[in-house]
Amino acid sequence: MVYLTRLEHFNAAHKLYNPGWSREKNEEVFGKCANENWHGHNYDLYVTIKGEPDPDTGFLFDVKKLSQIIKDQVIEKVDHRNLNLEVDFLSGKMCSTENLAIGIWQQLVPHLPSEITLHCIKLYETPRIYVEYFG
């Protein structure tokens, strides 16, 4: 078993705000992340797949193709976007890094060939804060 990781980047605006709560409650729970006019991040996305290398190519999967799938299914939808307002797969969900990682997993799985297993979505919101999702 080999693990292969591709790193991509995107920049986006968001806020942590539960519309079912009052503004005071949102500020109490989410602090400055609840700022109604948004704030933003440079996200780093690590996508790790696993499997056995192909005997003819030596590749687990063509990493250029993996990069293209990530770009088409994720980066196109989130880069330079407002995550709360403009991203269909986060609609109705809280825009936490946790939910974003889960959403990215769900975006990618249907587009990966059957011989490839998605292993981990690792998503950095800042250089010091990241989440990992293993499905």
Partner 1 sequence: MSVREKKVAVFRKEHFNAAHRIFNPAWDDRKNEEVFGKCSNPNYHGHNYELIVKVTGVPDADTGYVMDMKVLSRITAEEVLEKFDHKNLNLDTVFFKDLNPTAEHIAMVIYELLRARIDPKLELQVRLYETERNFVEYPAD
CB of 9 to partner 1, least distance (A): 7
- Per CB under 8 A, 22 contacts partner 1: no
For the stretch 116-120, contacts whose Cβ atoms lie closer than 8 Å and that sit 24 or more positions apart, written own/partner, are 116/49, 116/51, 116/60, 116/61, 117/49, 117/50, 117/51, 118/47, 118/48, 118/49, 119/3, 119/48, 119/49, 119/50, 120/46, 120/47, 120/48
Task: Answer yes or no whether residue 98 interacts with partner 1 by CB under 8 A.
Answer: no
DSSP, residue by residue, 57-117: T--SS-HHHHHHHHIIIIIHHHTTEEHHHH-GGGTTS---HHHHHHHHHHHHGGGS-TT-E
Confirm or reject binding of residue 126 to partner 1 (CB under 8 A): yes
Residues that contact partner 1, how many (by CB under 8 A):
22
Of 6, 8, 35, 89, the one binding partner 1 by CB under 8 A: 35
Establish if 13 lies at the interface with partner 1 (CB under 8 A).
yes
Part in contact with partner 1 (CB under 8 A); list of ranges 60-68, 79-87, 102-110, 115-123: 79-87
Task: Give the residue carrying structure tokens 């990618």.
Answer: 108
**Of 23, 28, 29, 40, which one interacts with partner 1 (CB under 8 A)?**
40
Q: Which of 8, 27, 86, 98 binds partner 1 (CB under 8 A)?
A: 86
Q: Contact residues for partner 1 (CB under 8 A)?
A: 9, 11-14, 32-33, 35, 37-42, 79-82, 85-86, 126-127
Any idea which residues carry the catalytic annotation? 33, 80, 125
